[in-house]
Amino acid sequence: GRLSYDFYKGTCPQLENIVRKGVHSASLFDPTTPAALLRLLFHDCQVQGCDASILLDARTEPSETASSKNFGIRKRNIVDLIKASLEQVCPGQVSCADVLVLAARDAVSLSGGPIINVPLGRKDSRGPPNVRLADSSLPPNDIGLEATIKLFSKKGMTVEETVAILGAHTLGITHCSSLRSRLYKPGNAINAGFVNTLKLKCPANQGNTTSKIKFVVNDLTPIQFDNEYFVKTLQGRGVLKIDAALPLDSRTRPFVEKFARDHNAFYRAFSSAFVKLSSSNVLLGNQGVIRRSCNRFD
Ligand code: HEM
Ligand SMILES: [Ca+2]
Ligand SMILES: [Ca+2]
């Protein structure tokens, strides 16, 4: 078995329509939904591959979302709801892993980004979620450029695709708690002026609870998938350490400049990076299962 572009042609031809409608109505209800779904896909694929492991609820084992690296993960239930409507139309046919990939790619296009053609045929994990693997596989909030290039090259991405996939931060928010080490650890300030702006929004004396509620936007247009992230990053206004690092290295800066200038170039590189992200390390054929309900095995 391998992934293919017409995997559900015979078994669930309505699939792409149903997912798109589901993401669309969830996004009308809450316009921050696309950001959540896109990050959800990354965090699924990063831990044990794109196998919907992140959707499993805690039972005998803690769920992956118990990992502090999954702080801020939201909207897992949207995938479950879409899967429930699919079960009405093509019961037992479509994996939760594929629904999540389709939901994330629809999140991108419904926010104004590229329409990405994705191969399908992933299976869902059959084991319990692995919180310790989540701790060790997900990148730390203050990851640097070297480790990031390595992380995405393992998925077959070029440096250009790596810069492009980080353009996912054109959507959504970052909580103050995720910025602690960047703002208040000595030596982590890359652009002192912008870091001071962030410090005003996320003060050091903000309590633990408050810093988990307060947030800053990732770019100036956090519900639009556009190239604003690169424009802003090029001006030294990248929110996370990795965002800020991209224009400072000669390997990555040319791509930041290119994407800030040409959103179509960003969309092209993002699309191929997205396919690599969502196709790496997947379960095929009888390596996995099709869960009826995404949050549990039975
Ligand atoms: C080196 C790699 C990456 C690091 C260190 C990183 C880190 C983070 C952090 C710390 C946040 C804020 C979480 C919060 O405080 O709520 C965030 C948000 C986000 N990330 Fe990343 N990220 C990386 C790569 C990616 C990739 C590859 C994607 C998708 C393809 C992605 C999509 C997003 C999105 C959409 C948000 C906003 C989520 C929301 O608004 O709920 N990130 N990221
Ligand atoms: Ca996974
Ligand atoms: Ca944006």
pLDDT digits (tens, 9 = 90+) for 47-96: 999 999 999 999 888 999 999 999 999 999 999 999 999 999 999 999 99
Segment 35-53 shows an average pLDDT of 98
Segment 103-126 shows an average pLDDT of 98
> Which among 41, 42, 198 is the best mutation to test ligand 1's pocket, defined by most ligand atoms within 8 Å of the CB?
42
pTM of the predicted protein model: 0.98
> Which among 170, 174, 221 is the best mutation to test ligand 1's pocket, defined by most ligand atoms within 8 Å of the CB?
174
Alpha helices in the chain (DSSP H): 15-29, 33-46, 76-89, 96-110, 131-137, 145-153, 159-166, 180-184, 192-201, 208-211, 228-234, 241-245, 253-261, 263-279
- Whether 78 lines ligand 1, by a CB cut-off of 6 Å, is no
Residues annotated as catalytic are: 43
CA distance 261 to 62: 45
Question: Which residue has a Cα nearest atom 17 of ligand 1?
Answer: 174
Residue 264 is predicted with a pLDDT of 98
Residue 147 is predicted with a pLDDT of 98
Alpha helices in 90-227 (DSSP H): 96-110, 131-137, 145-153, 159-166, 180-184, 192-201, 208-211
Domain 145-273 maps to which CATH number in 3.90.76.10, 1.10.420.10, 2.40.128.130, 3.40.190.10?
1.10.420.10
Q: Residue 96 is encoded by which pair of tokens? A: 């939760």
- Output the CATH code of domain 15-139+278-287: 1.10.520.10
Residue boundaries of the structural domains of the chain: 15-139+278-287, 145-273
- Whether 148 lines ligand 1, by a CB cut-off of 6 Å, is yes
ipTM here:
0.99
Q: How far is the CA of 120 from the centre of ligand 2 (A)?
A: 16
Helix (H) or strand (E) holding 215: strand 215-217
Residue 127 has pLDDT above 90, yes or no: no
Which H, E and C letters describe 120-148, residue by residue? Answer: ECCEECCCCCCHHHHHHHCCCCCCCHHHH
Across the chain, mean pLDDT equals 96
Q: Nearest-5° angle of CA 268, CA 273, CA 278? A: 130
Residues, Cβ < 5 Å to ion ligand 3: 170, 219, 221, 224, 226, 228
Q: Say whether 216 sits in a helix, a strand or coil.
A: strand
Neighbouring CB atoms inside 10 A of 209's CB total 9
Residue 185 is predicted with a pLDDT of 82
Identical fold at 15-139+278-287 and 145-273?
A: no
Residue 65 is predicted with a pLDDT of 96
